[in-house]
Amino acid sequence: MTTATFPATSELQAGAGQARPDARFALARRPLAAVTGAEIQAPLIQGGHVRYANLDYGASAPALSVVSAYLNEILPFYASVHRGAGYASQISTSVYENARTIVREFVGGRPDDAVIFTRNTTDSLNLLAGCLPVVDGAHAGEVLYLDIEHHANLLPWQRVPHRSVVAAPTLAATLELLRGELAHGGVSLLAVTGASNVTGEILPIRALAALAHEYGARIVVDAAQLAPHRRIDIAADDVDYLAFSGHKLYAPFGAGVLVGRPDWLDAGTPHLAGGGAVQDARIDTVSWTTGPARHEGGSPNVLGAATLARATQVIADLDVEQWHAHENAIRSFLVEGLARIDGVTVHQIFSDSASFDVPAGNEPGNGAGTGTIGVVNFSLAGYDAGLVAAYLSAEHGIGLRDGRFCAHPLLRRLGLPSGSLRASFGVGSRLEDAQRLLAGIQELRRTGLGWDYVVDAGRWVPSNDTRSYPHWAPNTPGTAGAAPCTLG
């Protein structure tokens, strides 16, 4: 195997348009925490290999090394949980049920908050949509949401009475628009994101919770992006329901969770009708149980729940100042560098996201405030986002996300109907990843593509790609197909 070499940091600093690292970025020169796969080698289309620069944490974050080790430790004891008298079953059951306590503590839950394990955030929010209060056969109120939401916090509400608000150019004005809608009455639930999956901008969830409660509504927060980057305290912030996913929180196996007040959940339609969700079943009738089991029919994802809980413990133990400083250093370096490259536009939703003045008494109990998590969304004039992503992957060994990020209404409003690029990072990232991204884009602007690219199955891929991949990979990764929303 040959390995590509890259310019030393001093050479990168001297490149035209490059941001120059200084003392602000010292903490980001190394990962804050070890992650599995940090040193995997990516094959380059022009030959050789290079360390894979993972700038796609916002889609799925790599597993923390501590979590991988924990998985290997508990895997021999894996067995079906509940109602099993065997030793392995008893161990697995205790791990699974204790995971609820760990997750509840991680989000600052109230003692009686239900903790329901699901497949992912999407699953959690669909579950809650089936538990909205019903009076005399009709929903007791509407769900109110913004147009900036990920489809996970948009599409479930389209199946029930709902109304939407187009976010204003500022957070302050957006809160006033929501106030106006809530003041009309008839809203039972306000559904908001904790941090935008497109731009990373953080919303003031405590202020939003207070606003919802002022008008008799509850609030659910999609924390899929927020939980891996900021402390959360739903009791202090008075948040009723919170959903997030393990795969974005450095845990493998695709588990998700819904945490919140039990009354709606105990009265709602069981999310999965099946074994474990009942008190008694007859040929044509059933008596459903209450508590988390009501919505966890079938054999649960024991290892997913266990690794999710272990990941929350690792994140909870991080020094908050170092954690935020590490992430902010990488983001600042990248944003400043992109600003120096002709034709690059960095996108955001709110002009005041960095300076929003939280109303007195509504300061976030979680320390999140507003601002931005480790996400940078941008586009490059004259180039399709998918082509830029394919180029960066094939010629530079860099992985980032392109497309519409399952947030089509927002991308259209931002003037990006065909999509943009998103770099995202976390505790396993290092400054070099951002340096390499900037160098790759600079090279593209300076000399153009170094290879021919074609569209195959809806995705840009290098033509005549002869790179070899692991023998167990069933498809060449670049041509494995695209999501339907990227086609056409």
Q: Report pLDDT for 455.
A: 94
Weakest-pLDDT range from 29-38, 292-301, 468-477: 468-477
pLDDT confidence bin for 151, thresholds 50/70/90: very high
CB count, 10 Å around CB of 225?
Answer: 28
Mean pLDDT of 299-303: 96
Q: Report pLDDT for 3.
A: 41
Q: Report pLDDT for 15.
A: 44
Decide: helix, strand or coil at residue 111: coil
- The answer to whether residue 362 scores a pLDDT higher than 50 is no
pLDDT confidence bin for 170, thresholds 50/70/90: very high
For 185-269, list the strands marked E by DSSP: 187-193, 218-222, 241-245, 256-260
Q: Report pLDDT for 480.
A: 55
What would the two tokens of residue 77 be? Answer: 């004891």
Question: Could you tell me what percent of the chain has a pLDDT over 90?
Answer: 84
Do residues 485 and 458 lie in contact, with contact meaning Cβ atoms separated by under 8 Å? no
Q: Report pLDDT for 473.
A: 84
Contacts of 73 (CB under 8 A, 6+ apart): none
Q: Report pLDDT for 254.
A: 81
Mean pLDDT of 58-62: 98
Do residues 205 and 194 lie in contact, with contact meaning Cβ atoms separated by under 8 Å? yes
Tell me how far apart the alpha carbons of residues 6 and 9 are, in angstroms, rounded to a whole number.
9
Angle 365-295-78 (CA atoms, 0-180°, nearest 5)?
A: 90
Q: Report pLDDT for 354.
A: 83
Mean pLDDT of 110-119: 98
Full-model pTM: 0.93
Residue among 133, 114, 100, 134 nearest 218 (CA):
133
- The answer to whether residue 212 scores a pLDDT higher than 70 is yes
Supply φ then ψ for residue 431, to 5 degrees: -60, -35
Tell me how far apart the alpha carbons of residues 206 and 372 are, in angstroms, rounded to a whole number.
16
Question: How far is Cα of residue 199 from the mean position of the Cα atoms in its chain?
Answer: 11
Q: Report pLDDT for 469.
A: 85
CATH 3.40.50.2300 fits 9-65+319-486, yes or no: no
- The answer to whether residue 476 scores a pLDDT higher than 70 is no
- The answer to whether residue 335 scores a pLDDT higher than 60 is yes
Contacts of 281 (CB under 8 A, 6+ apart): 287
pLDDT confidence bin for 305, thresholds 50/70/90: very high
**Which residue has tokens 């079938």?**
298
For β-strands 453-456 and 459-462, DSSP reports them as antiparallel
Q: Report pLDDT for 369.
A: 58
Mean pLDDT of 144-151: 98
Q: Report pLDDT for 358.
A: 54
> CA Rg, the chain, in Å?
23
Residue among 104, 158, 145, 151 nearest 123 (CA):
151
Mean pLDDT of 20-38: 88
- The answer to whether residue 441 scores a pLDDT higher than 90 is yes
- The answer to whether residue 244 scores a pLDDT higher than 70 is yes
Q: Which residue has the higher pLDDT, 133 or 17?
A: 133
Do residues 252 and 37 lie in contact, with contact meaning Cβ atoms separated by under 8 Å? no
Helix axes 302-316, 87-106, angle to 10 degrees: 40
Q: Report pLDDT for 92.
A: 97
Weakest-pLDDT range from 42-51, 56-65, 283-292, 353-362: 353-362
Domain boundaries, the chain: 9-65+319-486, 66-315
Task: Write the single-letter amino acid at 113.
Answer: D
Q: Report pLDDT for 479.
A: 53
Q: Report pLDDT for 319.
A: 97
pLDDT in tens, 376-427: 999 999 999 999 999 999 999 999 999 999 999 999 999 999 999 999 999 9
pLDDT confidence bin for 365, thresholds 50/70/90: very low
* Matching fold, domains 9-65+319-486 and 66-315: no
Decide: helix, strand or coil at residue 422: strand
Average pLDDT, the chain: 91
Tell me how far apart the alpha carbons of residues 457 and 9 are, in angstroms, rounded to a whole number.
38
pLDDT confidence bin for 474, thresholds 50/70/90: confident
pLDDT confidence bin for 370, thresholds 50/70/90: confident
CATH number attached to the domain at 66-315:
3.40.640.10
- The answer to whether residue 115 scores a pLDDT higher than 80 is yes
Do residues 385 and 421 lie in contact, with contact meaning Cβ atoms separated by under 8 Å? yes
- The answer to whether residue 110 scores a pLDDT higher than 90 is yes
Tell me how far apart the alpha carbons of residues 53 and 37 are, in angstroms, rounded to a whole number.
11
Do residues 268 and 130 lie in contact, with contact meaning Cβ atoms separated by under 8 Å? yes
